[in-house]
Amino acid sequence: MKTLTGLAAGLCALAVFGTANAQDYTEPPAFGSVTLQAGFSPDPHIRNLTAGGSIRAETRFSSCRGSIANAPDYSLYYTAGSLPLIFTVDSDRDTTLVINGPDAQWYCDDDGAQSPLNPMVRFNNPQSGRYDIWVGTYSSGAGVPATLFISELGEYTRESAGLGGYQPRPVMSGLDIGLAARYGDITLNGGFLPDPYQISVMAGGSISASSAISNANGYCTGYVTREPTLELRYNGGGDLHIYTAGSPDTVLAINAPDGTWHCNDDADGFDAGLSFPNGFSGVYDIYVGTFSQGSQQTTLRISEISLGYGPGGK
C-alpha cells in the first residue's frame, strides 16, 4: 500500500490537530507501557502484541490508514536526548501505525519502513513525554500477531532483531475475535477481589476448534462459537488461571495478548483450564466450548491464586 509522506524527511507520516474524534488515549493500553530514556539498552525495546481493531483510522484522521482499537496498544514514557526515536512494526500481515506524541499531535504511517508492508514513524528530534501507540491492520480485522520495535538506532524486523521470522499465521476459519463477546468485556486489575471472578456462561457452539485453530499451545478440540464467550482485559502481572467449573465436559480456547492461541480439554476432570504464569497485561479472548456438539451451562472462573480455585477454597 502507498506510504504516507512525512512532515520532514523520514520523520513521520501525518500530524493531525484536534481531538474531537480522536482515539481515547486516556484508556489503559492493552499491552502495557514502558519507561525509557535516551541511550536505553537493550536497543531495540521489543513488545509483542496483536494488531487491529474495529475502528477505521481514516474515519478519525483523513490521511491515516488501517483498522485500530479505541484504547492504545502500548504507551512509551520517554526522556529524550540527542538521538532519534524510531517506531517500527513487523508482522506477516500489512500493518499500520498511529501515534499520539507528547505534543498532542497525531502521526501515522502505512508502509514507511524498508521492509515491505511494515510501517515506521521516526522522530528525528523527539520530545520527552508520553507516546501512545496504536498498531493497526491495513485490511479490516483484529487479533493479528505483530511485534513493535522502539529504537534509537534504526528500524528492525523480527529477523534483523534475531527473533526469527514469523511462522505461518494460525488458521482462523470460522472464528472472529474482533466480534463482540457473548458475555461482554470485563476488566480485572492485579489483586482483584473477589478471587476467583466467576460468571455463568453457555458453553459450546457449532464450530470445530480443531479445524478453526492451528499452531496453538495445546491440542484444540471441541466446539465453540464464532465470537468469544468473554473478553478479559487484565491489568496485572501475577499468575493468571482461567478455567471452568461444572458438570459438562468443557474445552477452552484462549487468544492471549501476544496473539498466541492456547487450548485445553481436561485440566481437572471434565473441567478445562489454562494457566498463564506471570500473565502479562492485555486482552484475553476466551472461548468456552463443549467436547461434543451442543450447548451446556457451566461456570467460567478467573483467578490469580491457583487453577481450580473456588469460593471457600479449592
Listed in sequence order, the residues at least 6 apart from 128 whose beta carbon sits closer than 8 Å to its beta carbon are 78, 79, 80, 102
Query: pTM of the full predicted structure?
Result: 0.56
How many angstroms separate the CA atoms of 47 and 264, rounded? 26
Q: In terms of Cα–Cα distance, which of 135, 147, 154 is closest to 86?
A: 154
What are the start-end ranges of the H helices in 168-290? 209-212
In contact, 288 and 173? CB cutoff 8 Å: no
Nearest 5°: CA angle at 57, between 28 and 122? 75
How many angstroms separate the CA atoms of 262 and 275, rounded? 10
pLDDT tens per residue, range 272-298? 999 998 877 888 999 999 999 889 999
pLDDT tens per residue, range 97-132? 999 999 999 999 998 998 888 999 999 999 999 999
Q: Sort 56 into a burial class: Cβ within 10 Å, 0-12 / 13-18 / 19+.
A: middle
Q: Can you tell me which residue has the cell 466450548?
A: 289
Low-confidence residues in the chain, pLDDT < 70? 1-23, 140-142, 166-173, 312-314
Which three cell numbers mark 76?
A: 512509551
Is 3.55.50.30 the CATH classification of the domain at 33-151?
no
Q: Given this model, what pLDDT does residue 22 score?
A: 57
Q: Given this model, what pLDDT does residue 140 score?
A: 67
> Which amino acid type is present at position 172?
M
Question: How many Cβ atoms sit within 10 Å of the Cβ of residue 171?
Answer: 12
Nearest 5°: CA angle at 67, between 99 and 155? 45
Q: Given this model, what pLDDT does residue 294 score?
A: 86
Rounded to 5 degrees, φ, ψ at 60 are -100, -40
Fold of 185-303: Jelly Rolls (2.60.120)
Enumerate the CATH 2.60.120.380 domain ranges in the chain, comma separated.
33-151, 185-303
Give the CA radius of gyration of the chain.
Answer: 20
In contact, 68 and 30? CB cutoff 8 Å: no
Q: Given this model, what pLDDT does residue 86 score?
A: 97
Beta bridge partners of 134: 98
Q: Given this model, what pLDDT does residue 170 score?
A: 46
How many angstroms separate the CA atoms of 81 and 72, rounded? 25
Residue length of the chain: 314
Beta bridge partners of 87: 121, 150
Q: Given this model, what pLDDT does residue 17 score?
A: 37
